Amino acid sequence: MRVAIGQLWQETNTFNPLRTTREQFEQFGVLRGDEILKRLSETNEVGGMIQSLRSWPERPELVGLVRLPAWPAGPATPDTVAWLLDEMLHALQRAVPVDAVLLALHGALAGEGEPDVEGALLQAVRRLVGPHIPLVATLDLHANITRRIVEVTDALVVYHTAPHIDVFETGQRAAAVLRRILVDGAKPVTAFQKVPAVFPAERANTQDPDSVSHRFRQQLQALEADSAILTAGLATVQPWLDVPELGSAVVVVADGDAARAHAACARLATDVWHHRRDYLPELVPLEEAVRQAYHEADGLVVLSDSADATTSGAPGDSTWVLRELLKYDWPRPALVTLVSPELVADAQRLGVGATLSRPVGGVRDHRFSTPLPVTAEIVRLFEARFVMNGHLARNLPIDMGPSAVLRVGKVCIVVTSRTGPHFAPELFRAAGFDPLAAAVLVAKSPCGFRAAYAPYARRIIVVRAPGCAPSDFWNYEYRHIPRPLWPWDESMEWTPS
Ligand SMILES: [Zn+2]
């Protein structure tokens, strides 16, 4: 029994003007063949798949295809899309015959001219292996599930958590579904319901018992506890994706019982629709948010700058929050990040202890942010390299390249050469800080940061600022999305088909 395993992972933000290229995938770490099995067995979905398959009594032979990861950013160029498909399909061509294919995907990778890269990939994989080989894929909770993705796969296994703390377990769930199909002879039938709604991420916290997302997660887990259901998922798509099939979706895969799958799917889709307004976040205007943070004398205040969230594919060099932080005399460090290879190069040239005087930030995206002149002391040069755990990751190596810390009073600007998780406590530790001892920490993340900080923060404030990943996205211009779509069309009616 031969099972092929591969990964294609990136979340695209079509508002980010910086295109995603092959270089970003190669920089993050492309792995091929056996390297995948050797190096990823403890990491994320692929690790969950590998460990589960290795525990099967049938001892299946695992065949590593290719791992293609890149950090969230702008749309992939056409050459990059072609290269990604080529890499996976050539690897699969070399691997066949196989008895099954397991792919770890994001589900919201868009390219210029191809809004549904995972759909194109899965369709090509299906053509290559034929109609009878089980094809099971995992997806991020923020995937944009298209009809094509559903039609060409046997089962889609979606993360159940946001913050995404179940990525490894999602790989294990996918392997368990495959086992039901391959070993137990289950006959997967998928019910799929697109819900014409797009939700801000801030309140989609499945770990918060007061949140509606928590209840949906419990419903999904209850469905999966039923042996007639192979898997159930709710993908509340990420909003910054101007594509024709944008929308949330429910998928329920049953063993042979189509009516049961459809009933469960329609029930959950209706419930999600009825609770759509529960997802609307309370955003605090920027100036007010920073003023409130300043008046919290003790403990850590986390400011979520979701509009510049690098986890949502924003460029990460917005200066809006930095500008406000610089107006105050903070009692302890105020930590904020910027992506700027030019600024790091300047800091390296001048050296630790020198003073740097120049505009910073606001160049990766010109529409929503502008450069801010600062005079700062260069206090540290370091490599932003660490192993990340928690939201999005289990044992995931991250490398944001040469980096620097600049200080203006107590405001410390952590500058990295490349984008990455600009909320991760591991990043601030690599920069020489104890993030939990700061007066204020700016997390460029809409929700995932809560997994790291919610237990320790005195207060969390979600800031309203301009950017490529805004929470009030319906106020921005979209050209390709289907209409009507909530919340753009606030008063629309809908029932499942
Ligand atoms: Zn996500």
- Evaluate if residue 381 carries a pLDDT over 90: yes
Confidence of residue 115 (pLDDT cuts 50, 70, 90): very high
Within 8 A by CB and 6+ apart from 1, the residues are 58, 60, 61, 99, 100, 182
The pLDDT of residue 203 is above 90: no
Q: 94 alpha carbon to ligand 1 midpoint, in Å?
A: 31
CA distances in angstroms from 475 to 233, 303, 359, listed in the order given: 29, 22, 29
Strands 355-360 and 372-390: antiparallel
3 state SS of 132: coil
Euclidean distance between CA atoms 337 and 326, whole angstroms: 13
Instruction: List Cβ neighbours of 439 (8 Å cut-off, separation of 6 or more).
Output: 293, 300, 301, 330, 331, 332, 333, 334, 410
Q: How far is the CA of 164 from the centre of ligand 1 (A)?
A: 7
Q: What percent of the chain clears pLDDT 70, i.e. is strictly above it?
A: 100
Angstrom distance (rounded) from CA 385 to CA 381: 12
How far apart (Å, rounded) are the C-alpha atoms in residues 305 and 316? 10
pLDDT of residue 471: 93
Q: Tell me the average pLDDT across 173-193.
A: 98
Residue 236 Cα to ligand 1 midpoint, Å, equals 9
Using the mean position of ligand 1's atoms as its centre, give its distance from the Cα of residue 429 in Å.
24
* Gap between the Cα atoms of 31 and 39, Å rounded: 9
pLDDT, one tens digit per residue, over 224-235 is 999 999 999 999
Contact indicator for 85, 111 with CB cutoff of 8 Å = no
List residues, by chain if needed, whose CB lies under 5 Å from ion ligand 1: 140, 142
- Distance between Cα 141 and ligand 1 center (Å): 5
Mean pLDDT, range 42-52, rounded to an integer: 98
- C-alpha 254 to ligand 1 mean position (Å): 25
Between the CA of 372 and the centroid of ligand 1 the distance, in Å, is 31
Which residues sit opposite 335 in a β-bridge? Answer: 412, 441
Burial class (CB within 10 angstroms; exposed 0-12, middle 13-18, buried 19+) of 475: exposed
Report the C-alpha dihedral over residues 177, 158, 145, 280, rounded to 10 degrees: 160
Please tell me the distance from the alpha carbon of residue 338 to that of residue 416, in angstroms, as a whole number.
Answer: 6
- Position 244, amino acid: P
497, pLDDT greater than 90: no
Encode pLDDT of 299-324 as tens digits.
Answer: 999 999 999 999 999 999 999 999 99
User: 97 alpha carbon to ligand 1 midpoint, in Å?
Assistant: 33
Q: What is the pTM of this model?
A: 0.97
Q: State how far the Cα of 91 lies from the Cα of 101, in Å rounded to an integer.
A: 12
Predicted pLDDT of residue 374: 98
Cα(342) to centroid of ligand 1, in Å?
Answer: 29
For the purposes of burial, counting CB atoms within 10 Å of the CB of 430, is it exposed (0-12), middle (13-18) or buried (19 or more)?
buried
Q: Are 365 and 322 in contact (CB under 8 A)?
A: no
Cβ pair 426, 387 in contact under 8 A: yes
**What secondary structure letter does DSSP report for 19?**
P
pLDDT for 202 equals 86
Q: How far is the CA of 270 from the centre of ligand 1 (A)?
A: 22
> Can you give the pLDDT at residue 287?
98
Cα 24 to ligand 1 centre (Å): 19
Confidence of residue 412 (pLDDT cuts 50, 70, 90): very high
Instruction: Look at residues 128, 131, 122 and name the one whose alpha carbon lies nearest to residue 149.
Output: 122
CA-wise closest residue to 310 among 445, 169, 175: 445
DSSP conformation class of 253: E
Query: Which pLDDT band, with edges at 50, 70 and 90, does 406 fall under?
Result: very high
Between the CA of 147 and the centroid of ligand 1 the distance, in Å, is 20
- Whether 59 has a pLDDT exceeding 90, the answer reads yes
> Does the pLDDT of residue 166 top 90, yes or no?
yes
* 458 CA to centre of ligand 1 in angstroms: 25
* pLDDT average, residue stretch 186-205: 95
Q: Is the pLDDT of residue 297 over 90?
A: no
Asked whether 46 and 5 are in contact (CB, 8 A), the reply is yes
Residue 253 has pLDDT above 90, yes or no: yes
List the one residue out of 290, 248, 239 whose CA is nearest residue 272.
Answer: 248
Ligand 1 center from residue 140 Cα (angstroms): 5
Q: What is the pLDDT of residues 444-492, one digit of tens each?
A: 999 999 999 999 999 999 999 999 999 999 999 999 999 999 999 999 9
- Is the peptide bond between 281 and the residue preceding it cis, with omega within 30 degrees of 0? no
CA of 199 to the centre of ligand 1 (A): 12
Neighbours of 12 (CB within 10 A): 26
The domains of the chain are located at 2-279, 284-470
| DSSP secondary structure letter of residue 494 | -
* Ligand 1: centre distance to CA 378 (Å): 34
| Mean pLDDT, the chain, integer | 97
Distances (CA, A) of 497 to 144, 248, 254, 494: 18, 14, 19, 9
The answer on pLDDT for 336 being more than 90 is: yes
DSSP 238: -
Task: Give percent of the chain above pLDDT 90.
Answer: 99
CA 169–ligand 1 middle distance (angstroms) = 15
